[in-house]
Structure 1
Amino acid sequence: MGDKAQTHPGAAGRATTADQPSSVRNVVLVGHSGSGKTTLTEALALTAGALNRAGRVEDGATVSDYDEIEHRQQRSVQLSLVSVEWDGYKINLLDTPGYADFVGELRAGLRAADAALFVVSAGQEAEAVAGATRTVWEECAAVGMPRAIVVTHLETARTGYEELTEVCSHIFGGDDPDAVLPLYLPRYGAPGADGHAPVTGLVGLLSRQVYDYSSGERHEVAPDPGQSELIEEARNRLIEGIIAESEDESLMDRYLSGEDIDRSILVEDLEKAVARGTFHPVLAAAPATGGAKQGLGTVEILDLITGGFPTPLEPAPPVVTTPQGAKRPPISCDPLGPLVAEVVKTASDPYVGRISLVRVFSGTLRADETVHVSGHGLADRGHEDHDVDERVGALTAPFGKHQRPIREVFAGDLACVAKLGRAETGDTLSAKDNPLLMQPWAMPDPLLPLAITAHTKGDEDRLSVGLARLVAEDPTMRLEQNQSTHQVVLWCLGEAHADVALERLRKRYGVQVDVVPHRVSLRETFGTPSAGRGRHVKQSGGHGQYAICAIQVEPLPAGSGIEFVDKVVGGAVPRQFIPSVEKGIRAQAARGVVAGYPLVDIRVTLLDGKAHSVDSSDAAFQTAGALALREAAAGTPIHLLEPVAEVRVLVSDEYVGQVMSDLSGRRGRVVGTEQSHSSRTLIRAEVPEIEIGRYAIDLRSLSHGTGQFSRCYTRHEPVPQHVADRVREQTGERT
């Protein structure tokens, strides 16, 4: 691990054995936006020799200027992969977006990785760090992922390192704050003219050694005598935290009796606790500046990854079945086992076409072989089931926009696969003679509606293709063709997610769209009983049209739909035309009778009518039925009905009052609260859907990014008059 007091020359000249799962480390970098994940990724690549200041990867493929790469990746909203080599190990670094809108990319990174570096910025206030990162930490904890914490932006710190590590211990440690402790303390240089003392190195708590980076490379120097008391206090707490997680139950007694525990034993127990996910060390990092070859703390982080993080052999692999759902034996991370790989990210390249980032969980994936692609079929999000054979294109190991060709990728490793035309994010790749399907990971539910229309006729022709490709790349997006409002709706996770979707439609697929107000599925119903008479009599030469019917309409309880009752006597309406009257009434009800919304919850009784032996017809009685319903509607108040959703909000305890007050302001009715885990409260409420169109955005602002909610339709109920007037004014309709 990082505190082993050794100097590393970088990756040059070292051979790797990435064909063995034990030599691979898959690490996802997570944290809030602006925490420095991408900068840390670049710093680790620089230290490992995968990137130099001239902007070249080690294998000779020229990339853009170093600063331009960093700038481009920091603006990225997608999961990206950078592979480096360190001490004979291959490390796949998965950089995830920090925006809450792209939590789907985060979960894809969690699926592909075996451990996480949780990046926290000292450049923000401690309270802001806590509020913005707690939800992301819980995403990692939910899948039992081993985690370490890296503190960045020490050079512009608003929060002291010691204070920030205490915040991390309190928030991330939960009931066991001693499970989150620093392995190093920063070493400060002489204060500058502004009074700020730069961080020039790190003090290893286990070794009591100082690792100085002031020259641009890591060197060991003697510790400062003035820091000895601070070091010993932090060291003792760290040792106690490590021993508490040790499998050797006698170790604590030996330590308390005054025995000096050998550092090699402590390091071994620390590595085991980190790999189990029961201890989360805190480290520090800063990017290399000037002509420096190593960024502060990068050697320590790389050593932690190779020494403390689990290999792909250790985590339990996902469950597999046949595409038809039949059980299959559990898989293992064995290069010789049956092929099981998963598409964790899908992207489109303007020159190469579709590129799939794939994690191989079992077997070996080879270029140019034919594999079976099994899809889960998220029909509610625009994805259909598919089980097809496809030929694998080129395999590459990525760095930024550049790809290093490879012939095969073994179990435990990641690679990019070109030209899998049918494969979508979440699909399983397996042998064509042994098709398998992996259990999918949980996808967040998109709750922000974006109603769109094609800008021109030409855009209309391309829109369906563009939308299909868009949802194929992003399973967190849901495509809806609303039959009630006749709108095309993209359901997104937030405003940034929606903006990216529109930009991809425009730039990648050449489709210009207009955003229009999203409409909820309102309904109409009768306020009181009413009667109507439909008379459709026309004579224009030859056969005419003749149909007359009289109906009675009465309102029914919510959810009753439309009932049709025949009470005609004496054959006033011939039997063959009674279904025609019902058809006409139902068609008019679907079109609405006042504001254009479907009419529901009524009973229509056919009482009387007249027919002509020659001029009566099916079409004539359909028209008469529609006219009768419209006349009945003119003689009674027509009520608007709005959909009501059951909303479940999970929020930190400190925001419960604000959230409940906000729900009340949305005409919501809180029906209950219950205490959840980690100082959180679940609020259950019923809220009109017309009031929660932008709730995904508003809740995030109200709860400082810590709130989550779900919604489901429950029923329609009458709209208050003042709201009904506003809706009619907005739609240009009048009663």
Structure 2
Amino acid sequence: MKVYKTQDIRNVAILGHGGCGKTTLVEAMAYAAGVTKRQGKVDDGNTLSDYDKEEIRRKFSISTTVIPIEWEYWKINLLDTPGYMDFVGEVEEALSVADAAIIVVSAKSGVEAGTIKAWNYCEKYSIPRTIFVTNMDDEHADYMGVVNQLRELYGKKIAPFHLPIREDGKFTGAVNVVKMEGRKFTDSGKWEARDIPDDVEPELETCREALLEAVAETSEELMDKYFGGEEFTIDEIIDALRINVNEGSIVPVQCGSGLLGYAIANLITTCVEFLPSPMRDHIKIFGKDPRTDKEYNVDYDSRRPFSAYVFKTIVDPFIGRYSLVKVCSGELKNDSVIYNYAKDTEEKLSKLFVMRGKELIEVPELKAGDIGAIAKLSNTATGDTLSLKSDPLVIDQAEISAPYTYKRYEAKNKGDEDKVSQALSKMMEEDLTLRVFNDAENHQSLLYGIGDQQLDVVVSKLLAKYKVEIVLSKPRIPYRETIRKKVSVREKYKKQSGGHGQYGDVAMEFEPSGDLEKPYVFEERVVGGAVPKNYFPAVEKGIAESVNRGPLAGYPVVGIKATLFDGSYHPVDSSEMAFKTAAKQAFKSAFLQASPILLEPIASLSVYVPDSYTGDIMGDLNKRRGRVLGMNPSDFGRTEIVADIPLAQLYGYSTDLRSMTGGRGDFAYSFSRYEQAPSDVQDKVIAENAKENEN
């Protein structure tokens, strides 16, 4: 593959709802560009993008894959992203380096939740986009239905560049609205000229007028020409549309079939003619000199010192470790010496690659704005910046969604714990939305992800790639135990077994401390030396060990004040161990007499949904014992519902929320405080704990 200049590169993310045809479209584009001699199919498991065994088995994308294609004088780096929102981290990584996007919509299914999310991401990152309506070969395809849905959502921004032509119910061609030409698709996936049929004239007139209005608004000269009734030239139209598309004020809509390869060449031409190179004027990329904290823009300028952003890491036992980078300034050559300021490491490259799916293509260099891969950077992670030691640079890391779905996990086979830990560590390097937490308090290991489907994929990958198995289960909720009233008890530990015996006698008072942030407060007010001072630490140690596991249901105890006020000792048999044991007995006895209660963790929850779903969400939150505190306007026309809710009620909420909102809802939460659990909840938890202990 030859070296391309920055202005001849296009970095295009392929976005859309899961199953809409993104990978099929990428395969068709690769085939049209001559990358492959035979177009692969998702069902056959032979596409360039979905090469991972899990992707082949499940028949959908799990990771973002880079597929570079060459078209005449240009190179297009296609970033094929997953459509299912459990893998949103992969989409966000792709968008951190994309300069434009193709939003794929199925002509049969229409605008779906993933379509709207894709649009919102483009708005968030100010990414110009075009929309490709695929599956036009389906008998139930409704192109104008999709266009009208898009217009209802996004108004005059939507500009159909194509209108489909159907003959005998079959999709056979399209009208190019920009050039006002009819085209008939041939078996090879290319096209030949044809007349514009009469039945598309009404829609064609409307679409053409919208395009001409958009062109007129780009300059006063064109506006005067438009109102003067003069015709625009094709060059004037294309130049004006290019400006609008680059600014995001116009979003072209085209139609075709990824499966049959129809209109794919037109789509590729749109990428190079209308979508921007990395050198787009209205977007700046900033870096900071860590030595001075001075910020400056690098703007994909090949004349500046080298810098590159690591947007993705691949750690695979079969193909090795690769850092995928986008060159932000300067040039990256295969013998470059690169510096990672965050890790303070400097390494010399031996080889530089471009990845096409799992294929590695060695290249001599990459210009600013291009995407490539570097092997074996062991100290470099996703989000790091590579630069020169003489000119260090740090670029802000991309924002990656936080995971809120979690499950307990255990190694299926004893002795595999270390293998599981090492494998998960490698998977977390690849997927920043995957996290592991060791909950020592509840004796469990927790696996966090975006959703249940992602966690299921993790289980499958661990077995397939790393030959270890884990079992997922419902996590143990971190309840707390405390007391509500004051009690006094006396406990004696006495044991005689020949020789020195054991003797410890304590009289203690237990009451609520009023501070649920601390497990206990220990005080003493012993008079007359009833208990020698040297045994006070042993008594406190007995309390400290007791609060780790409460008598009620086995959860940590908080908010206890323990006061030693009397007792007795034996000059020979008393010991620290005896007084510690007596204190433990006193704790247990007093706790069960002092109106013990269970405290449940309460989370502060924010749910983001379109207005039409707010009633359903609030009703569901009430069923989950949530307390709705208010609603606020949010981004992209959504509403934020703020509520307090027991943490236990959020288990499985990701799946339920998607079901209620058709995938249009998101949520986030954080721990807030502990509150007394209702009696029925307390009884249920105690019963479950007793049953668990029996087993």
Q: TM-score by structure 1 length?
A: 0.88
- Whole-Å separation in 1 of the counterparts to 2:152 and 2:692: 58
How do 1:390-429 and structure 2 match up within 5 A?
A: 390-392=347-349, 394-429=351-386
> Does residue 1:311 correspond to 2:277, yes or no?
yes
How do 1:212-251 and structure 2 match up within 5 A?
A: 212-216=184-188, 217-244=190-217, 246=218, 248-251=219-222
Write the deviation string for residues 125-144 of structure 1: whole angstroms up to 9, x where unpaired.
x4xx2434212321221111
Consecutive unaligned residues in structure 2, runs of 5 or more: none
CA contact (8 A) 1:534 1:629 kept: no
Q: Supply the AA of the counterpart residue of 1:169.
A: R
Q: What is the deviation of 1:409?
A: 1.8
CA contact (8 A) 1:146 1:309 kept: yes
Residues 392 and 498 (structure 1 numbering): CA distance in 2 closer, same or farther, change over 3 Å? farther
CA contact (8 A) 1:338 1:362 kept: yes
Q: Supply the AA of the counterpart residue of 1:185.
A: L
Write the deviation string for residues 541-577 of structure 1: whole angstroms up to 9, x where unpaired.
4544332211111124463522222222222222232
CA contact (8 A) 1:527 1:639 kept: yes
Q: What is the deviation of 1:40?
A: 0.9
Q: What is the deviation of 1:501?
A: 1.1
Q: 1:267 aligns with which of 238, 251, 256?
A: 238
Q: Supply the AA of the counterpart residue of 1:223.
A: I
The match for 1:342 is 309
Q: 1:683 aligns with which of 641, 651, 670?
A: 641
Q: What is the deviation of 1:281?
A: 0.8
- Whole-Å separation in 2 of the counterparts to 1:242 and 1:430: 42
Write the deviation string for residues 71-108 of structure 1: whole angstroms up to 9, x where unpaired.
75653310001111112011100000000101100011
CA contact (8 A) 2:49 2:66 kept: no
- Whole-Å separation in 1 of the counterparts to 2:528 and 2:515: 34
- Whole-Å separation in 2 of the counterparts to 1:540 and 1:526: 36
Q: What is the deviation of 1:601?
A: 1.3
Consecutive unaligned residues in structure 1, runs of 5 or more: 1-14, 56-63, 192-196, 290-294, 376-385
Q: 2:124 aligns with which of 134, 142, 151?
A: 142
> Does residue 1:547 correspond to 2:497, yes or no?
no
CA contact (8 A) 2:61 2:83 kept: no
- Whole-Å separation in 2 of the counterparts to 1:351 and 1:419: 14
The match for 2:79 is 94
> Does residue 1:578 correspond to 2:536, yes or no?
yes
Residues 630 and 215 (structure 1 numbering): CA distance in 2 closer, same or farther, change over 3 Å? closer
How do 1:88-127 and structure 2 match up within 5 A?
A: 88-124=73-109, 126=110
CA contact (8 A) 2:306 2:387 kept: yes
SS of residue matched to 1:444? coil
Q: What is the deviation of 1:188?
A: 1.5
Q: What is the deviation of 1:220?
A: 2.0
> Does residue 1:642 correspond to 2:600, yes or no?
yes
The match for 1:12 is none
SS of residue matched to 1:93? strand
Q: What is the deviation of 1:685?
A: 0.5
- Whole-Å separation in 1 of the counterparts to 2:533 and 2:50: 76
SS of residue matched to 1:678? helix
- Whole-Å separation in 2 of the counterparts to 1:619 and 1:477: 45
SS of residue matched to 2:345? strand
**Which 10-residue stretch deviates more, 531-540 or 443-452?**
531-540
- Whole-Å separation in 2 of the counterparts to 1:606 and 1:45: 79
CA contact (8 A) 2:12 2:100 kept: yes
SS of residue matched to 1:139? helix
The match for 2:490 is 533
- Whole-Å separation in 2 of the counterparts to 1:243 and 1:534: 92
- Whole-Å separation in 2 of the counterparts to 1:155 and 1:734: 57
The match for 2:268 is 302
The match for 1:59 is none
Q: 2:628 aligns with which of 665, 670, 674?
A: 670
Write the deviation string for residues 140-164 of structure 1: whole angstroms up to 9, x where unpaired.
2111111111101111153521121
- Whole-Å separation in 2 of the counterparts to 1:113 and 1:621: 68
SS of residue matched to 2:38? coil
CA contact (8 A) 1:17 1:88 kept: no
Q: What is the deviation of 1:733?
A: 5.5
- Whole-Å separation in 2 of the counterparts to 1:252 and 1:698: 51
Q: What is the deviation of 1:463?
A: 1.8
SS of residue matched to 2:510? strand
The match for 1:34 is 19
Q: What is the deviation of 1:369?
A: 4.0
Q: What is the deviation of 1:302?
A: 1.3
> Does residue 1:257 correspond to 2:228, yes or no?
yes
Q: Supply the AA of the counterpart residue of 1:450.
A: K
Residues 299 and 560 (structure 1 numbering): CA distance in 2 closer, same or farther, change over 3 Å? closer
How do 1:320-331 and structure 2 match up within 5 A?
A: 320-321=287-288, 326-331=293-298
SS of residue matched to 1:421? coil
Q: Supply the AA of the counterpart residue of 1:165.
A: V
Residues 428 and 207 (structure 1 numbering): CA distance in 2 closer, same or farther, change over 3 Å? same
- Whole-Å separation in 2 of the counterparts to 1:159 and 1:296: 14
- Whole-Å separation in 1 of the counterparts to 2:547 and 2:199: 85
Q: After the TM superposition, list the runs of 4 or more consecutive aligned residues in structure 1 that deviate by more than 4 angstroms.
A: 64-74, 322-325
How do 1:452-471 and structure 2 match up within 5 A?
A: 452-471=409-428
SS of residue matched to 2:551? coil
Write the deviation string for residues 629-674 of structure 1: whole angstroms up to 9, x where unpaired.
1111232332111100000001011111111111011010001112
**Which 10-residue stretch deviates more, 64-73 or 613-622?**
64-73
Q: 2:516 aligns with which of 559, 580, 599?
A: 559
Residues 490 and 71 (structure 1 numbering): CA distance in 2 closer, same or farther, change over 3 Å? closer
Residues 159 and 201 (structure 1 numbering): CA distance in 2 closer, same or farther, change over 3 Å? closer
The match for 1:292 is none
The match for 1:382 is none
Q: Supply the AA of the counterpart residue of 1:287.
A: G
- Whole-Å separation in 2 of the counterparts to 1:38 and 1:689: 38
How do 1:366-445 and structure 2 match up within 5 A?
A: 366-374=333-341, 386-392=343-349, 394-445=351-402
**Which 10-residue stretch deviates more, 642-651 or 332-341?**
332-341
How do 1:574-653 and structure 2 match up within 5 A?
A: 574-653=532-611
- Whole-Å separation in 1 of the counterparts to 2:443 and 2:692: 21
The match for 2:137 is 155
Q: What is the deviation of 1:256?
A: 2.9
Q: What is the deviation of 1:530?
A: 1.8
Q: What is the deviation of 1:538?
A: 2.9
The match for 1:516 is 473
- Whole-Å separation in 2 of the counterparts to 1:550 and 1:154: 84
SS of residue matched to 1:637? coil
Q: What is the deviation of 1:231?
A: 1.9
Write the deviation string for residues 19-66 of structure 1: whole angstroms up to 9, x where unpaired.
x211111000000011111111111112222222288xxxxxxxx999
SS of residue matched to 1:659? helix
- Whole-Å separation in 2 of the counterparts to 1:392 and 1:717: 57
Q: What is the deviation of 1:405?
A: 1.2
Q: 2:173 aligns with which of 198, 201, 222?
A: 201
SS of residue matched to 1:580? helix
- Whole-Å separation in 1 of the counterparts to 2:688 and 2:44: 52
**Which 10-residue stretch deviates more, 70-79 or 331-340?**
70-79
Residues 508 and 66 (structure 1 numbering): CA distance in 2 closer, same or farther, change over 3 Å? closer
> Does residue 1:184 correspond to 2:162, yes or no?
yes
Residues 65 and 158 (structure 1 numbering): CA distance in 2 closer, same or farther, change over 3 Å? closer
SS of residue matched to 1:341? strand
CA contact (8 A) 2:286 2:299 kept: no
CA contact (8 A) 2:28 2:39 kept: no
- Whole-Å separation in 1 of the counterparts to 2:418 and 2:634: 49
Q: Supply the AA of the counterpart residue of 2:63.
A: Q
- Whole-Å separation in 1 of the counterparts to 2:178 and 2:417: 65
Q: Supply the AA of the counterpart residue of 2:69.
A: V
Residues 75 and 393 (structure 1 numbering): CA distance in 2 closer, same or farther, change over 3 Å? farther
